Structure 1
Amino acid sequence: MVQTIRIEAEAREQAGKGAARATRRQGLVPAVIYGAKLEATLVALDPRDVMKELHKGGWQSHLYEVAVKGGGTERTLMRDVQFHPVTDRPIHVDFQRIAPGARIRVKVAVAFLNEETAPGIKEGGVLNVVRRELEVLADPDAVPERFEIDLGEAAIGDSLRWSSVVNKFGTRPVIGDRDFVVCTIAAPTIDEEVTPVVVAAPEPVKGKGGKAAAKPAAAAPAAAAAKAPAKKK
C-alpha cells in the first residue's frame, strides 16, 4: 500500500497573485489545500521538498500529510503543480483535502510481469502498452503502489484487460462501462525484401543470310536534310 508522506509547511494569510509573488521572493512555493467542503488553507512549501516528491514519480497517487507550522495537519493528495515557463521550477502546488470515509480518484502505474517468458514475445511478438497508468477510485488507506498484469501465458494476438489485473486491492476503475484493454501482444512486423527486376535487352533482328540487320540511320533533322539555296553570282 502507498505510504503517507509528511510535508512541512508554513501558513499564508493572503491570497492573490501579489501575495504569491511575495512568497516566491522569500524562496518558498505558494500552495493551497482545498476540498471536503471546507475553507481553503493557504500554505507555503520548501521548494526542495516539492522537487524531491516530483523526482520520485507517481506523486499523483501518493498521500501527503501537510503539517502546517503552528496549526494542524491536513491529509491530502497533490493534484497539480505549476512550473515556471523558463526555469521549470515549481511555482504553485494544489492539494486536495481527503474527506473522511470518501474514496479518492488516483492514477496507479501498471507493471507487466514475465514479459521475457511470454510465448507471444518469444515468438517475435511485441508488447503494445495501451495504458501505463490506470485511473481508479480507491480507499485512501488502501491505494496500491502499482497494479500487476502477468504476461506468462500471453500469445500473439492476445489482449490483456482490466480483468487481467492480478490484484485490484478493492479499487474500482473510473472507466466502468467495459472491460477496457491495458496492453496487447502484437504480431511482428515483417519487412518484405524487394527483388530487383532485370529487363533483358531485345535481340537484334536478323536480315537475309542470317546477318543482323543494320540499324536504320537516325532521321536527319529537316533543316539539315534540306539543300541550301544556290548563291547568286
Structure 2
Amino acid sequence: MGKDFGKRRKKIMEQLKLQAMPRTAIGKQVKQLRREGLLPGIIYGHSIEPLAVQFDAREARSIADQAGSSSLINVYIAGTPTPYSVIIRDVQWDYLKRTLIHLDLQALSMTEKVRIPISINLVGTAAAVEELGGVLLHLVNEVDVECLPSALVPAIDVDISNLTQIGDSISVKDLVVPEGIEILTDAEETVVQISAVVEEAEEKEEFAVEAEAGDVEVIGEEEEAEAEE
C-alpha cells in the first residue's frame, strides 16, 4: 500500500505544473482578461509578498480539478528562475457560466510542516449494501493532517469492500496513509458505517403498538375517579 501511495504521489507531483504570467490588470480591467481566456489569481504565503498573476483559464481549471485543496502544485512564473510550490486556498466561481473567475494560491516552504484537511475518497463496493440491503453512512468527509508539503495527496482512499455485515465500520485509526502523513483527527471517529434499513412497515407497526398502549385503561383508575367525584 505504501508503494502505491508513493507512485500515486510522484505521478501527481509530476503532473501538477501550472504556467503563469505576472498580472498588471486590476479592478475592472480584470474582466477583459477573462474575455481573452485568462484567469486572474494571486500567490501569497511563505516569505513572499503577494504576487498578482494570470493563468490560461483552461489549464488552470484542469489543474484545479485534479489538485483539490491538498495537492502540491508547482507554479512557474515567466521571468522567475524557480517555481513556487503552492496549494489552492480559495477558488471563486461564476456559477451561472460554470467558469473559474479567480484563484488564490498559498506558497509553502518544502522544509516546514503544514496542517491541512485532506478529503476521504471511498473506493470499492460494500457487500453489506449489495447483498444485505444495508445503508452506507459516510460520516467523516475529511481528516486533518500534518506533514511536509512533499507528502501531500489529493485524497485518502478508503476501501469499503471489507464491509460485509450490518454494523461494520471503519474508523480514523483504520485509515492507511502515505509515509510522512500524521492524522490529527480523533482516531476513534467513525468514517463510514453500515446501517440497517428501517422498513416503513415496521415503523407503522411500532407506531400502532404505541398508540394501542396509550389507550389501555388501568383497572381501578375509573373507580377512583368516580369516588373522587
Structure-1-length-normalised TM-score: 0.69
Runs of 4+ in 1 over 4 A off after TM superposition: none
Structure 1 gap ranges (5+): 196-233
The count of aligned residue pairs is 190
Residues 118 and 156 of structure 2 are in contact (CA less than 8 Å); yes or no, is this contact kept in structure 1?
no
For residue 121 of structure 1, report the CA deviation from its aligned partner: 5.9
Q: Does 81-90 or 29-38 show the bigger shift?
A: 81-90
- What is the CA-CA distance between 1:38 and the residue it aligns to? 1.7
What's the offset of the Cα at 1:6? Answer: 0.8
Q: Match for residue 107 of structure 1?
A: 118
- Other structure's SS at 1:8 match: strand
Distance change (3 Å), C-alpha of 1:126 and 1:81: same
Deviation at 1:153, TM superposition (A): 5.4
Whichever residue aligns with residue 99 of structure 2, its letter is R
Determine if the alignment matches structure 1 residue 187 to structure 2 residue 196: yes
Q: What TM-score does the superposition give when structure 2 sets the normalisation length? A: 0.70
| Residue matched to 2:37 | 27
Q: Deviations over 1:31-56 (max 9, x none)?
A: 10110132111110000112223444
For the structure 1 residues 135 and 154, does the alpha-carbon distance in structure 2 shift closer, same or farther, using more than 3 Å as the test? farther
Q: Does 1:49 align with 2:59?
A: yes
Q: Write out per-residue CA displacement over residues 87-141 of structure 1, whole angstroms, 9 at most, x where no aligned residue.
A: 222111000101131223142332344523x5x7633322111123334223221
Q: How far apart are the structure 2 equivalents of 1:133 and 1:184? A: 15
Alignment of 1:21-170 (within 5 A): 21-56=31-66, 58-72=67-81, 73-104=83-114, 105-113=116-124, 115-116=126-127, 118=128, 122-144=131-153, 145-152=155-162, 155-167=165-177, 169-170=179-180
Please give the alpha-carbon distance, in whole angstroms, between the structure 2 residues aligned to 1:22 and 1:86: 18
Q: Which residue of 2 aligns with 1:9?
A: 20
Go from structure 1 to structure 2 and tell me whether the alpha carbon gap of 1:32 and 1:184 turns closer, same or farther (over 3 Å shift): same
Percent identical: 24
Q: Distance in 1 between matches of 2:133 and 2:199?
A: 10
Paired with 1:180 and 1:168, the residues of 2 have a C-alpha distance of: 20
Decide whether aligned partners of structure 1 residues 25 and 166 sit closer, same or farther in structure 2, where only a CA change above 3 A counts: closer
* CA contact 1:121–1:155 (8 Å) conserved in 2: no
